[in-house]
Amino acid sequence: MSTTEPATAGGASPAPEPNAPNYLSHKQILVILGGLMAGMFLAALDQSIVGTALPRIVSEFNSLDKLSWVVTAYLLTSTASTPLWGKISDLYGRRPLFIAAIVTFLAGSVLSAMSQNIEELIGFRAIQGLGAGGLMSLAFATIGDVIPPRERGKYMGYFGAVFGLSSVAGPLLGGLLTDGPGWRWIFWINVPIGLVALGVVAAVLKLPHVKRSHKIDYLGAAIVTGAVTTLLLAVSWSGPTNGWGAGTTIALLVAAVVLAVVFVLVELRVSEPIIPMDLFKGRIFSGYAAYAFLLGFAMFGALIFLPLYLQAVKDLSPTKSGLALLPMIVGIFFASIPSGQLMSKTGRYKIYPIISSVLVGGAMVLLSTIGLTTPYWQLAIYMFIMGAGLGLSMQITVTAAQNSVPRQHMGTATSTMTFFRSMGGAIGTAVYGAVLTSRLTTHLGDIVPQSMHGMVDQLAKAANSVQALHALPQPMKGWALSGLVQAMDDVFLVSLPFLAIAFILAVITPEQRLAGRDDGPKPEGDNADLAASAAAMH
C-alpha cells in the first residue's frame, strides 16, 4: 500500500491520490518562494562572481596555467549532476533533495573559501558545482509541484529577476569583495544566503510524496556523467588549450558522441531511466528542450563578452561594468512580469518564445555594430532589447515543458530542460571563445602595418588580459582594441543561425493550454506525453 509524507505547507491535508496535483495557496507559495529563490540565486550567482576574482586568485597561488579549471570543475559537476537530481527527487521527494543540494553547495563554498592551493580550490569548486546542479532544477521542479501551470506566469518575474540580478550582481560583488575583504569572501557570502534558503525550505516545504517501488539507474547515471564530462573537457579545456584539431580534443569529442549513443540505448531498456526517452516523443517537450539549448548557446555570448567590452574598451572597473549591465535586468523585468501575467490570464504561451528569439536575434545584430566610440546610451538600448528577449522565454519554456508531461516525471522534465540550457551555454561559450581568438588574429593582421606583422601574435596574446591590453603603448593599444571589438562583432553574428533555428522551433512546436487548479492529473503511462502533444494540435 502506498504511504505519504504528512502535511502540506500551512497545515495537514488528506493524503493525495498518486500523481494528483497538490497546489498551494498564494500565501503559502510566497513563503516557499523566498527559500527557492535564495537557492536559485546561489547557483546563478556563482556562475559569474568567480570570474572577477580569478586574476587575484591565480596571482596568489601562482598558477595561471590552471586558471580555467577553477571554472571548468564547477561547470562539469553542475551540468552532469542536473538530470540525476531531478530523477532522484521524483523518487524520494523534492524537500530532502533540495536540502541536500543546499548543504552540498554550502560545504563546497566553505571549503573553497579555506583553500590553501589551486588544486584544493579546483576540487572544492567541483563539490560546489555538484550542489548547484540540484539548486536550479529542483527549484523549478518544486514550483511545478506547488503552482498550477496556468498561475505560474504570476511568479515568472521573480525568477527572471533572479537570473538578471545574478548576471549583474556577480561581477559587481566579485569586484567589491576582491578589492575589499579579499577573494575568499566570494565564497563566504554564500553562507548567510544559503542558511536562509535552508531554513525556509526545511520549515515550510513539506509536500506529500507518494512512495513507490523504484530502482535507480546507476549505469545510466555513470554513462551520462561520462558523456557530459568528456564533452565539456573537449570544449572548455582541450579545444582552447591544445587546439580543435588536436588528437586529445578529437578523442574527447568522439568519446562524448559514443557515450551519448550508449546512454540513449541504455535508457531505452531500463525500468527507471535517469532521462526517460519517451519524454522526447512529445513534440512540446522535445521542441522546447532544443529551444532551451539554442537560446542558452546564444545567450551566453552576450553575457560573457559584454563585460569584456565594457572593461577593455570603455575602461570600466569590474564593479562599474557590473552596474553598466543594469539595462539588461530592466529589460528582463519589463518583459517577464507582463508576459507572465498575460500567460496566467489566457493560458497561452506560444507567442512569447517566438518574440523572444526575434528580440534576442535583433539585439545580436545591433551588438555586432558596436565599435570603439559607441556611446553607452546606445549600448544600453541594445542590452535592454536583449534582456526583454530573455525575459520572454527563460521561464516560460520550462512551464510549457512541465505542462506537457505526466506529474511523475515533473522533476526529470524540469532538470532535463535545465540540463539542455546549461549544455547550450557551455558549448556556446567554447565556440564563441574559439571564434573570438580566430577572428582577433585575422583582424589584427588587417589592422597592423605590414612592416610590423611580427607583433600580431603578441597583440593577440595581450588582448586576453584587460590589464595587459591597457598596459600597451600607443599605437599598439589602439590596434589591439580595434581588433578585439571587430572580433566581438563577429562573435555576435555567429549566434544568428542558431537563433534562426530557435525561431523555427518556436513556430512549429505545438501549444497545449496551461492546466489550472481544477484540472485533474495527467494520464499515467509511457504515452501520456504523446497524448498531451496530440491534444495540443487539435
Find the CATH number of the domain harbouring 379.
Answer: 1.20.1250.20
15 within a domain of the structure (yes/no): no
Mean pLDDT, consecutive 10-residue stretches, the chain (538 aa), reads 38 44 68 78 78 72 68 80 82 84 93 89 90 84 77 68 72 78 88 85 68 70 86 79 84 93 90 82 89 86 76 79 81 82 83 94 94 92 92 81 78 81 80 81 82 74 73 82 88 91 93 68 43 39
In a domain, 16, yes or no: no
| 105 CB-contact burial (10 Å; exposed 0-12 / middle 13-18 / buried 19+) | buried
Both 397 and 508 in one domain: the answer is yes
Closest CA to 92 of 219, 5, 200, 222: 5
Is the same domain home to 261 and 329?
Answer: no
- In the prediction, which pLDDT does 272 show? 78
38-70 burial by CB neighbour count: b if 16+ within 10 A, else e?
bbbbbbbbbbbbbbbbbbebbeebebeeeebbb
Please indicate, yes or no, whether residues 288 and 357 belong to a single structural domain of this protein. yes
Structural domain containing residue 457: 26-216+272-536
Sign of CA pseudo-dihedral 436, 437, 439, 441: positive
Which of 271, 287, 302 is the endpoint of a domain?
A: 271
489 with 521, same domain? Answer: yes
- Residue 11 falls inside a structural domain: no
Are 262 and 278 in the same domain? no
Question: Are the beta carbons of 316 and 324 closer than 8 angstroms?
Answer: yes
In one letter, which amino acid is 155? Y
Domain identity same for 116 and 183? yes
**Quick one: 197 and 344 in the same domain?**
yes
Please report the sign of the dihedral spanned by the C-alpha atoms of residue 250, residue 256, residue 259, residue 264: negative
Residue 227 to residues 59, 220, 270, 291, Cα–Cα distance (Å): 33, 10, 18, 21
Question: What one-character DSSP code corresponds to residue 454?
Answer: G
Q: Return the SS3 of 50.
A: helix
403 lies in the same domain as 264: no
Cα distance between residue 121 and residue 68, in whole Å: 12
* Structural domain contains residue 1: no
DSSP β-bridge partners for residue 4: 210
Place of cell 510549457: 400
Answer yes or no: do 121 and 189 share one domain: yes
Which residue among 271, 306, 337 closes a domain?
Answer: 271
Assigned domain for 409 exists: yes
pLDDT (0 to 100) of residue 6:
38
Q: What pLDDT, on the 0 to 100 scale, is given for residue 515?
A: 66
Pair (233, 307) in one structural domain: no
- Number of residues written out for the chain: 538
> Residue 517 — φ and ψ, nearest 5°?
-65, -30
Q: How many CB atoms lie within 10 A of CB 192?
A: 10
Query: What is the CB neighbour count within 10 angstroms for residue 500?
Result: 13
Beta-bridge partner residues of 120 = none
C-alpha closest to that of 226 among 76, 416, 417, 70: 76
Q: Into how many domains does the chain fold?
A: 2
> Is residue 50 one of the residues assigned to a domain?
yes
* Three-state DSSP class for residue 4: strand
Among candidate residues 406, 419, 411, the one with its CA nearest the CA of residue 95: 411
Same domain, 245 and 342: no
Q: What is the structure's pLDDT at 157?
A: 62
Q: What is the DSSP letter of 8?
A: B
Does residue 107 sit within a domain? yes
Choose among 166, 524, 163: nearest CA to 174.
166
Residues 170 and 49 sit within 8 Å (Cβ to Cβ)? yes
Whether 141 maps to a domain, the answer reads yes
Q: Among 250, 271, 292, where does a domain finish?
A: 271
Same domain assignment for residues 323 and 225 = no
